[in-house]
Amino acid sequence: MSTLSPRQAEQNLAFPLDYYLYHEAVGVVIVAVPKVGCSTIKRWFMRHTEADPRLDPHKYAFEHLALARRPASEAQHILESRRVLMPVRDPADRLRSAFVDKFVWPKASDLFEPAREIIEDLQRAKGVHVVHDTEQVAMLGEFEVRIPICSAVDYNRRPSFREFVDYVSAADPSHLDAHWRAQSSFIEEHRIDALVPLEHLSEHLQQLSKAIGAPELQPAAENVTRKEPAPHSCLADTPGDELHALDLFPTLEQIADEPLLRKIREHFRDDINLLARARART
């Protein structure tokens, strides 16, 4: 069971053009899919547009680069007249990164709002009546925000990776945040001229800098989820809060067994095909 939250319903109105980034100084459109080098892409745009590097790259991209912020006719013209690129990533590794980044790494008070929504849905399935009757202050990057929460929900109880994958696989895609929505869903209705494997993203951005006659900029530090080895063989069924308490940030090999990997491959078959196409062209 999945629930369409008011927050997600609003975000669906601009999906996927909130993630199609463009600036005249660059001249190409890049689809910044969450957990597929999106921070690297946004910082690259910021350096070419001479934006203040102290700005939050996600906020800057949302306000100044996303095609969803432009009139529909202008956005359509840009999509039709400019080259459109999209990096792609192995879906299992992307899900692991999203899980560790959003369910393991943060303190309970700083949980990502879409992660809270999954926790609420999982507790709904256990019979908890979820009504947002209070608020909690959370930090999103450098910003303090008030997030509606339910006093009957134990937000400290985070799902295991297996529970997370099961939820994402069974959910209505329109109910899912972009961090765990299939990469293929970002391009269902739009033309993509080039698919770039994530492992070649920085190299490709350097080539773009050269092609537009701009100085070749040194890549910004990658914003990647920590990958310290964990001291256990498989952590697929260990709740995220326990991993957090133990300060464990497992690799894919340590958090996904073969049945779970098969489930991911089956559900995200289109994403695997996109990655195969991208690697075949490099």
pLDDT tens-place string over residues 107-116: 888 889 999 9
For residues 257 and 234, is the Cβ–Cβ distance under 8 A? Answer: yes
Average pLDDT over residues 251-271: 97
pLDDT given for residue 137 in this prediction: 81
Average pLDDT over residues 49-67: 94
Is residue 211's pLDDT more than 90?
A: no
Lowest mean pLDDT among 44-53, 145-154, 220-229: 220-229
Per-residue pLDDT band at 147 (split at 50, 70, 90): confident
Spacing of C-alpha 154 from chain mean position = 24
Per-residue pLDDT band at 140 (split at 50, 70, 90): low
Per-residue pLDDT band at 178 (split at 50, 70, 90): very high
List C-alpha distances in Å: 193 to 28, 99, 213: 10, 30, 21
What is the Rg, in whole angstroms, of the alpha carbon atoms belonging to the chain? 19
Average pLDDT over residues 22-32: 96
| Residue 257 CB contacts under 8 Å (≥ 6 apart), including other chains | 234, 236
Average pLDDT over residues 131-156: 84
User: How high does pLDDT run on average in the chain?
Assistant: 91
pLDDT given for residue 229 in this prediction: 52
pLDDT given for residue 145 in this prediction: 79
Angle in degrees, 0-180, between the axes of helices 38-48 and 201-211, rounded to the nearest 10: 20
Is residue 39's pLDDT more than 60?
A: yes
pLDDT in tens, 214-255: 665 555 555 555 555 555 578 999 999 999 999 999 999 999
DSSP 66: B
The pTM score is 0.91
Lowest mean pLDDT among 23-32, 81-90, 204-213: 204-213
Average pLDDT over residues 81-104: 97
pLDDT given for residue 167 in this prediction: 98
**Cα dihedral across residues 146, 152, 156, 158: positive or negative:** negative
Per-residue pLDDT band at 260 (split at 50, 70, 90): very high
Nearest partner of 169 among 77, 271, 251, judged by Cα: 271
Nearest partner of 203 among 218, 225, 223, judged by Cα: 218
Which residues pair with residue 139 across a beta bridge?
144
